[in-house]
């Protein structure tokens, strides 16, 4: 920590000024971290420059937004050209249907509605499920995050004191300011426990409108679904007549065609975002025609001044057609696999107590003696070790993942073999500090 603070005095100074006008000095609570958040000036490719002039190779990549890399020239060109023609029309742009067709073909869906953020997309997805079924209750999974949507910001990171029975979790609001009536129709299930989910569905079968989940939860590390789990949810949706929603705000950028490239399960609706815009805010709700065609003006509301904004759509067209190609993403996947294998080899050689998980363009390290399969097992991880690891890596010019233990790395299509080699060399140096971070003050200061 001493090295970090010595290297980042300008960030500290900016923070001291920023927090006068902005709570905690940041405009998203996930950007704050002790002892203060970092502030940056520019980015390019896989590199970030902070206000102190420190250069980092980035594996957070905007929490998964920047699979195309920072400031990709083809995306920048598309934004500049469109900005010169108009930034917003108040009407539909003539090229937007092209983007919609790209989305539908790539992700295997029938129809699409565009929005701006992940929170909007999940809000609309649950609204569409309720309007389609005429029911009220939504099942979500403990530890899964779906943005600031008030229906779903429940049991995201519940404390052990409040979470309740592991097979029948309590619905714990994840923020103050949420009246009970807002989330009274939100039911919480444990991830990767199909029998428990089936019991919850059975008890509420007449009222369940939809079930929403991250098919790979990425806010408790990087949790892979057990074989048969997603398939079992599909069968439950068919049996009880509710809408199965995959929140693919992240996974749509981890696999070329989204989660369907990973498992043979077709949800009824998916939410899309982050990577599809190449670095600009755009999201979508997509799915089966029989559901999407019930979104009728005056009946089911879907509105937004910036929906299908031409700047964002232009960036999206360039991103999907020219940057996030199948071959580019396959190459990035191989780099992600190389990074995961390198981590595992170092873990094994150093006898470090840690778990690795990886699929597509992402993976994560968890400092635990047991695999992380759900929120409860994630709570057993040593987060102190994770922060020691993260700061030590950053002191060596590597942002190894998102800036908290519940995040993962993202390999972009512009990362190189040399980037991955440097990442692993840094981890080799760091592993000893991580193993002993609690033992002496000297070890902590060395980080």
* Strand-pair partners of 211: 139, 244
Q: Which two tokens stand for residue 139?
A: 């099942």
In degrees and rounded to multiples of 5, residue 71 shows phi and psi of 50, 50
Q: What is d(CA 19, CA 346) in angstroms, rounded to the nearest whole number?
A: 40
Among candidate residues 113, 140, 250, 274, the one labeled active-site is 274
Q: Check residue 179 and give left, alpha or beta (phi > 0: left; psi -120 to 50: alpha).
A: beta
CB 208 within 8 Å of CB 135: yes
Sheet bearing 111-115, strands edge to edge: 111-115, 283-287, 269-272, 243-248, 208-213, 137-141, 186-189
263 three-class SS:
coil
Surface-to-core class of residue 220, CB atoms within 10 Å of its CB (0-12 exposed, 13-18 middle, 19+ buried): buried
* Sole residue written with tokens 């190459």: 331
Q: What is d(CA 105, CA 274) in angstroms, rounded to the nearest whole number?
A: 18
Q: What is d(CA 172, CA 191) in angstroms, rounded to the nearest whole number?
A: 16
Nearest to 357 by CA among 369, 343, 346: 343
CB 352 within 8 Å of CB 365: no
Cα 64 → chain centroid:
6
Q: Can 389 be counted among the known catalytic residues? A: no
Q: Can 326 be counted among the known catalytic residues? A: no
- Residues sharing a CB contact under 8 Å with residue 419, sequence separation 6 or more, in sequence order: 46, 57, 335
In degrees and rounded to multiples of 5, residue 91 shows phi and psi of -135, 180
CB 140 within 8 Å of CB 155: yes
Among candidate residues 124, 145, 183, 256, the one labeled active-site is 145
Q: What is d(CA 147, CA 135) in angstroms, rounded to the nearest whole number?
A: 22
Q: What is d(CA 442, CA 96) in angstroms, rounded to the nearest whole number?
A: 58
Q: What is d(CA 41, CA 27) in angstroms, rounded to the nearest whole number?
A: 16
Q: Is-cis flag, bond preceding 35, omega within 30?
A: yes
Surface-to-core class of residue 370, CB atoms within 10 Å of its CB (0-12 exposed, 13-18 middle, 19+ buried): exposed
Among candidate residues 52, 247, 382, 406, the one labeled active-site is 247
Q: Can 439 be counted among the known catalytic residues? A: no
Task: Please list the active-site residues.
Answer: 145, 247, 274
């Amino acid at each position: 920590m001493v090295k970090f603070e010595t290297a980042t005095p300008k960030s500290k100074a900016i923070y001291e000024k920023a927090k006068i006008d902005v709570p905690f000095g940041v405009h998203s609570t996930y950007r704050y971290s002790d002892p203060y958040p970092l502030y940056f000036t520019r980015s390019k490719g896989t590199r970030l420059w902070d206000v102190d002039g420190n250069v980092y190779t980035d594996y957070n990549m905007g929490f998964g937004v920047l699979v195309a890399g920072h400031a990709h020239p083809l995306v920048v060109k598309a934004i500049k050209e469109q900005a010169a023609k108009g930034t917003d029309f108040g009407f539909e742009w003539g090229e937007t249907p092209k983007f919609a067709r790209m989305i539908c073909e790539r992700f295997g869906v029938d129809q699409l509605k565009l929005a701006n953020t992940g929170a909007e997309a999940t809000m609309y997805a649950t609204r569409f499920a309720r309007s389609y079924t005429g029911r009220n209750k939504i099942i979500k999974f403990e530890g899964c995050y779906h943005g600031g949507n008030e229906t779903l910001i429940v049991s995201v990171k519940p404390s052990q004191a409040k979470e309740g029975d592991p097979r029948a979790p309590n619905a714990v609001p994840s923020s103050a300011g949420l009246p009970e009536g807002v989330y009274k129709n939100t039911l919480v299930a444990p991830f990767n426990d199909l029998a428990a989910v089936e019991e919850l569905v059975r008890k509420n079968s007449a009222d369940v409108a939809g079930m929403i989940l991250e098919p790979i939860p990425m806010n408790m590390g990087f949790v892979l679904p057990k074989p048969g789990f997603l398939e079992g949810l599909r069968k439950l949706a068919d049996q009880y007549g509710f809408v199965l929603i995959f929140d693919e705000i992240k996974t749509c950028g981890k696999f070329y065609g989204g989660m369907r490239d990973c498992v043979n399960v077709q949800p009824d609706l998916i939410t899309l975002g982050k990577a599809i815009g190449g670095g600009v805010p755009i999201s979508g709700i997509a799915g089966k025609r029989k559901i999407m065609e019930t979104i009728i003006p005056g009946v089911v509301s879907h509105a937004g001044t910036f929906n299908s904004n031409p700047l964002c759509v232009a960036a999206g067209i360039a991103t999907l057609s020219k940057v996030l190609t199948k071959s580019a993403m396959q190459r990035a996947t191989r780099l992600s696999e190389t990074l995961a294998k390198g981590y595992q080899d170092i873990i094994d050689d150093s006898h470090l107590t840690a778990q690795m998980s990886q699929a597509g363009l992402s993976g994560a390290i968890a400092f635990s003696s047991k695999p992380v399969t759900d929120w409860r097992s994630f709570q057993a991880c040593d987060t102190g070790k994770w922060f020691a690891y993260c700061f030590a890596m950053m002191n060596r010019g590597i942002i190894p993942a998102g800036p908290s233990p519940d995040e993962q790395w993202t390999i972009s299509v512009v990362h190189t073999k040399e980037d991955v080699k440097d990442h692993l060399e840094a981890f080799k140096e760091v592993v000893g500090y991580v193993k002993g971070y609690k033992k002496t003050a000297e070890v902590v200061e060395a980080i």
